[in-house]
Amino acid sequence: GAGVSQSPSNKVTEKGKDVELRCDPISGHTALYWYRQSLGQGLEFLIYFQGNSAPDKSGLPSDRFSAERTGGSVSTLTIQRTQQEDSAVYLCASSLSSRQNYGYTFGSGTRLTVV
Amino acid sequence: RKEVEQDPGPFNVPEGATVAFNCTYSNSASQSFFWYRQDCRKEPKLLMSVYSSGNEDGRFTAQLNRASQYISLLIRDSKLSDSATYLCVVNPTGRRALTFGSGTRLQVQP
């Protein structure tokens, strides 16, 4: 597609429920990144994919968080047993390569609210 | 110490003013540097890369000082539309993911 697409754009869920967030990167972009941004805060790195593998998942805050990428394209971030502190905007980005001199293109994010 | 540190601001400047932001980074072996812009409740967008020799894009000039480990962004002739949060971004050696500063908020006033 023309840009990075994320769905849903907004999600309200009850504490304890599982949620799935989807990211569809720019066609041909091999690198895909998940970040989250809490209100008024900076971007917090979660996980990075190169193709379908995740060489760096060091930012996942707990084992309730997992992510996968299939076909070198769409990625899903799953949060199990959501907690109120999981409320944030979850941003996905893709880049042509994981080489260091490429910037990212971000999707518009999924705003997650856990009530 | 944070990997990338920025003054959060806000910087309130009148239209037409020149404003400069700095940021410092902790990993001396970092190789790639960028400035991103983030409008309120929007995703970050790449503003410009930062090169060792310094680079300019219209009213925007970015500079890198590797010895002091700081990056600067200069905006000349500020426009109302420049109002946003500016994020300093670094790629620390050994990681494939960019590290973002918390941002400096700019408010350009009429």
**Chain B: residue nearest A50 by CA?**
B96
| pLDDT at residue B94 is higher than 80 | no
As given in the structure block, the two tokens for residue A100 are: 């260091």
Contacts of A56 in chain B (CB under 8 A): 95-97
Task: Write the DSSP string, B41-56.
Answer: TS--EEEEE--TT-EE
Contacts of B102 in chain A (CB under 8 A): 41-42
Closest CA to B39 of B90, B101, B86: B86
The DSSP 8-state label assigned to residue A86 in this structure reads G
Distance from CA of A109 to the nearest CA of B (A): 7
Interface contact flag, B100 A35, Cβ < 8 Å: yes
Per-residue pLDDT tens for A32-57? Answer: 999 999 987 889 999 999 989 988 88
* Most distant pair of Cα atoms in chain A: their distance: 40
| pLDDT at residue B76 is higher than 70 | yes
CA atoms within 13 A on the CB side of A27: 2
How far from the centroid of its chain's Cα atoms is residue A48's Cα?
9
What percent of chain A stands above pLDDT 70?
96
How far from the centroid of its chain's Cα atoms is residue A31's Cα?
12
As given in the structure block, the two tokens for residue B21 are: 């932001």
Closest CA to B100 of A33, A77, A70, A1: A33
